[in-house]
Structure 1
Amino acid sequence: MIKRWFGSLVNRAVALVILVILLSALVVTIVGAMLSQGELEQQAKNQVETMARLVASGLDDKLALRLETLSHVAESFTMDESVLNARARVLIRQQTALQHLFDGLYLIDASGVVLAEYPEAFEQTGLNVSTREYFQDVSHHMTPVISDPYVSNYRDKPAVMIAAPIFDHRKKFLGMIGGAILLKGSNFMAEFAGIRIGKTGYLEIGTRSGITLAHGRTDEVMVPVRVEDPVLKDAMGGFEGTRQTRNGQGEGAIMSVQQMAQVPWFVAVVWPAREAFAPITRMADAFGWTLLAVIAVIGPLALWVFQRLMAPLRALGRQINERHLGVRTNPVEVSGGREIRQVAEIFNTVMDEREEVLGSLAEREAFFRSLTQSAPIGIVQTDVLGRIDFVNPAFESLIGRPASELQHTQLINGVYEADREAVRNGWQQALRDKEIFRGRFRIPSRGERELIWGDVMTAVIETPEKALGSITVVRDISRELEVEEALREEQQRAEHILGVLQEGVLMVDVQGRIRYANQAACVFLGTDGKCLKRNFFDLVVIEANDGPLAHADFLTGDNVDSLYGTLRNQKDEVFDIDLTMLHVRQGKHNERMVFVIRDDSERRREEERLSWEATHDSLTQLLNRRAFSASLVKCMAEVPHQTVRSVLMLIDLDHFKPVNDEGGHLVGDDLLKRLADLFKEAVRKSDIVARLGGDEFGIILPACGLERAEALAERIRARVQDLRIEQDGRSFGVTASIGLTELTPGDSGPREVVSRADEGSYIAKSRGRNAVVVVPAPSDDSGPARS
Structure 2
Amino acid sequence: MDMHTQVPENLDFLQRFERLSEQLPGTLYQCRLSPDGELSFPLVSAGMQKMFGIDAGEVMRDPGQALSRVHPDDIDALWRSIHRSALKLAVWRHEFRYCHPQGGIRWVHGHATPQRERDGSVLWHGFCEDITEHKRSQLALMESERRYRFIVEHVSDLIIMMDADGICRFVSPSVSQVLGYAAEELESQALVTLLPPDDAPRVQRLLHEAACRGEVLRLEVRVRHANGHYIWLETSCSPYVSPLNRRYEWLLAVARDITDRKRRDMRLHELSTTDSLTGALNRAAFMGCLESSLEAADHTNARLSVVLFDIDHFKATNDSWGHAAGDLVLACLGEVCRTTLRAKDIFGRIGGEEFALILNGQSLQEALVLAERLRSKFEQVRVEFHGQWLSFTVSFGIAERRRDESMDALLHRADMGLYAAKRLGRNRVQQALH
TM superposition score category, shorter chain reference: 0.5 to 0.7
Q: Which amino acid aligns with 2:74?
A: D
Q: Distance in 1 between matches of 2:209 and 2:382?
A: 65
Q: 2:138 is matched with which residue?
A: 484
Task: Identify if the C-alpha distance between structure 1 residues 684 and 590 changes in structure 2 by more than 3 Å, giving closer, same or farther.
Answer: closer
Q: Of the candidates 247, 254, 265, which is equivalent to residue 596 of structure 1?
A: 254
Q: Distance in 1 between matches of 2:184 and 2:96?
A: 38
Task: Identify if the C-alpha distance between structure 1 residues 685 and 709 changes in structure 2 by more than 3 Å, giving closer, same or farther.
Answer: closer
Q: How many percent identity over aligned positions? A: 13
Q: Of the candidates 492, 510, 514, which is equivalent to residue 164 of structure 2?
A: 510
Asked whether the 8 Å contact 2:233–2:259 carries over to 1, the reply is: yes
How far did residue 467 of structure 1 move? 1.6
Q: 2:399 is matched with which residue?
A: none
Q: Distance in 1 between matches of 2:166 and 2:180?
A: 14
Q: Distance in 2 between matches of 1:418 and 1:530?
A: 42
Q: Distance in 2 between matches of 1:566 and 1:552?
A: 16
Q: Distance in 2 between matches of 1:460 and 1:362?
A: 29
Q: Of the candidates 371, 381, 390, which is equivalent to residue 30 of structure 2?
A: 381
Aligned runs of 1:692-711 on 2, under 5 Å?
A: none
Q: 2:46 is matched with which residue?
A: 393
Task: Identify if the C-alpha distance between structure 1 residues 553 and 682 changes in structure 2 by more than 3 Å, giving closer, same or farther.
Answer: closer
Q: Distance in 2 between matches of 1:541 and 1:710?
A: 46
> Which structure 1 segments of 5+ residues have no match?
1-359, 616-625, 653-678, 688-700, 718-787
Q: Distance in 2 between matches of 1:496 and 1:568?
A: 27
Q: Distance in 2 between matches of 1:477 and 1:711?
A: 91
Q: 1:576 is matched with which residue?
A: 232
Q: Does 1:535 align with 2:200?
A: no
Asked whether the 8 Å contact 2:48–2:55 carries over to 1, the reply is: no
Q: Does 1:686 align with 2:300?
A: no
Q: Distance in 2 between matches of 1:399 and 1:424?
A: 19
Aligned runs of 1:243-322 on 2, under 5 Å?
A: none
Asked whether the 8 Å contact 2:98–2:108 carries over to 1, the reply is: yes
Task: Identify if the C-alpha distance between structure 1 residues 408 and 367 changes in structure 2 by more than 3 Å, giving closer, same or farther.
Answer: farther
Q: Distance in 1 between matches of 2:27 and 2:132?
A: 14
How far did residue 368 of structure 1 move? 5.7
Task: Identify if the C-alpha distance between structure 1 residues 611 and 573 changes in structure 2 by more than 3 Å, giving closer, same or farther.
Answer: closer
Aligned runs of 1:342-491 on 2, under 5 Å?
A: 367=13, 370-375=16-21, 376=24, 377-383=26-32, 384=34, 385-406=38-59, 407-410=61-64, 411-447=66-102, 450-460=104-114, 462-467=116-121, 469-491=123-145
How far did residue 470 of structure 1 move? 4.2
Aligned-residue CA RMSD (Å): 5.3
Asked whether the 8 Å contact 1:382–1:389 carries over to 2, the reply is: yes
Q: Which amino acid aligns with 2:39?
A: G
Q: Distance in 2 between matches of 1:432 and 1:710?
A: 102
Q: Which amino acid aligns with 2:83?
A: Q
Q: Distance in 2 between matches of 1:488 and 1:610?
A: 49
Q: Distance in 2 between matches of 1:525 and 1:560?
A: 27
Q: 1:27 is matched with which residue?
A: none
Give the stretch that moved more between structures: 402-411 or 449-458.
402-411
Q: Distance in 2 between matches of 1:420 and 1:361?
A: 38
Asked whether the 8 Å contact 2:160–2:168 carries over to 1, the reply is: yes
Asked whether the 8 Å contact 2:29–2:126 carries over to 1, the reply is: yes
Asked whether the 8 Å contact 1:542–1:549 carries over to 2, the reply is: no
Q: Which amino acid aligns with 2:40?
A: R
**SS of equivalent residue, structure 1 residue 417:** coil
Residue-by-residue CA offset, 1:69-120 (whole Å, 9 max, x unaligned): xxxxxxxxxxxxxxxxxxxxxxxxxxxxxxxxxxxxxxxxxxxxxxxxxxxx
Q: Of the candidates 266, 291, 312, which is equivalent to residue 644 of structure 1?
A: 312
Residue-by-residue CA offset, 1:489-544 (whole Å, 9 max, x unaligned): 3233333322323333223333333333323458749575144444333x333578
Q: Distance in 2 between matches of 1:510 and 1:711?
A: 62
Q: Distance in 1 between matches of 2:151 and 2:197?
A: 28
Q: 1:194 is matched with which residue?
A: none
Q: Distance in 2 between matches of 1:362 and 1:500?
A: 70
Query: Rg bigger for which structure?
Result: 1
> Which structure 2 segments of 5+ residues have no match?
1-5, 288-307, 336-351, 356-379, 390-434
